[in-house]
Amino acid sequence: MSALARLWRIPLGRSALIVVAVIAATALVSLFWTPFDPRRADAYSAWAPPGWPHLLGTDGTGRDILSLIMAGARITVTVAIGAGLVATVIGVALAALGALTARPVRESVAVFVDILIAFPVLLIAMMIAAVWGGSLWVVIWSVGVGYGVNIARVARIELRRVNRADFVLAAQASGLTRSQILTRHLLPNAAPVFIVQLSWSMAAAVLAEAGLSYLGFGAPVTQPSWGLLLSEVQDYITVHPTSVLWPGIAITLTVLALNLLGDALREATDPTLSRGRRAQTHTPEVIA
């Protein structure tokens, strides 16, 4: 049974997967269609309460909040995937270098990783944004590098643990080269750690993007972003509390879903942890 099918049988995993899929689908749909143009201000319908035709109401300039949130999902998904990819590549590379190379190399890699971890990701992103102007790339690269080194630190220990296992020696005895052992035995066995870390990094990236946009260091104001929307409507929280609710819910739900997905994926990718039907197809034990 595939890992995806096993993930589907974990209730929390299924819900998280559905939420993540809905957000991704929303981002795709928003490329072609939103109920209203998310950038069109309409002074006559400012601060409309949730209802028809503005399902989630409007903000102070009369923009449709549902359309803004749909369009904002694009940035969220882009940042989550972009930062996730960057973090994975950096994490795998640094973890492999830090775990499997000759002692002087792997120890200097470990020190290098520890130094990078000491840098505050958000502050550096803000500095870069302040000097060269904010853009999605700044967010993606700073969060990607920032969490990539975190992945590397955790995964390095896991790779070293797996590398000591007898089956790695057995694979070597079968004639596999070091790189074949890395791709066929070490990385798949360390994958649960990578996947959980990746999922958390994506959640952190979503949160970081929202935070940076909220502070004005994220995507340019012309692009709709959940964090930006939150900062725009928060001044009116006492008058129009529901308008703050929607971007807040969107951010919270996405981060929560990605975190839960990570946990469920860890369970699903490990066949020794799985329960249910597989246990019943147990082969009969005989005296060997």
Partner 1 sequence: MSLIVEGLTVEIDGTRVVDGVSFEVPSGGRVGIIGESGSGKSLTALAIMGLLPDGAVARGSIRWEGRELVGLSERERAPIRGREMAMIFQEPQTALNPIRRVGAQIVEAARIHHGLRGHRAAQLATELARDVGLPSPETIVSAYPHQLSGGQRQRVGIAAALAGQPSLIVADEPTTALDVTVQKGILDLLAGLVAGRDASLLFITHDLAVLAQIATHALVLDSGSVVESGEVDRLLSAPEHPVTRGLLRDAKATLWRPEGSS
Q: Which residues of this protein are in contact with partner 1, per CB under 8 A? A: 103, 165-167, 169-178, 180, 185, 188-189, 269-272, 282-288
Is the CB of 17 or the CB of 162 nearer to partner 1? 162
* Smallest distance, partner 1 to C-beta of residue 283, A: 5
Residue 4 vs 28, nearer CB to partner 1: 4
CB 175, min distance to partner 1, A: 3
Contact of 208 with 143, CB cutoff 8 Å: yes
Minimal CA–CA distance to 160: which of 98, 249, 78? 98
Rounded to whole angstroms, the Cα distance separating 208 from 82 reads 13
Residue closer to partner 1 (CB basis): 70 or 97: 97
**Cβ closer to partner 1: 103 or 238?**
103
Specify the residue, 101 or 259, whose C-beta has the smaller distance to partner 1: 101
CB of 43 or CB of 286, closer to partner 1: 286
* Shortest separation between residue 6's beta carbon and partner 1, angstroms: 12
Closest separation between CB of residue 102 and partner 1, Å? 9
CB of 275 to partner 1, least distance (A): 13
Least spacing, CB of residue 192 vs partner 1, in Å: 9
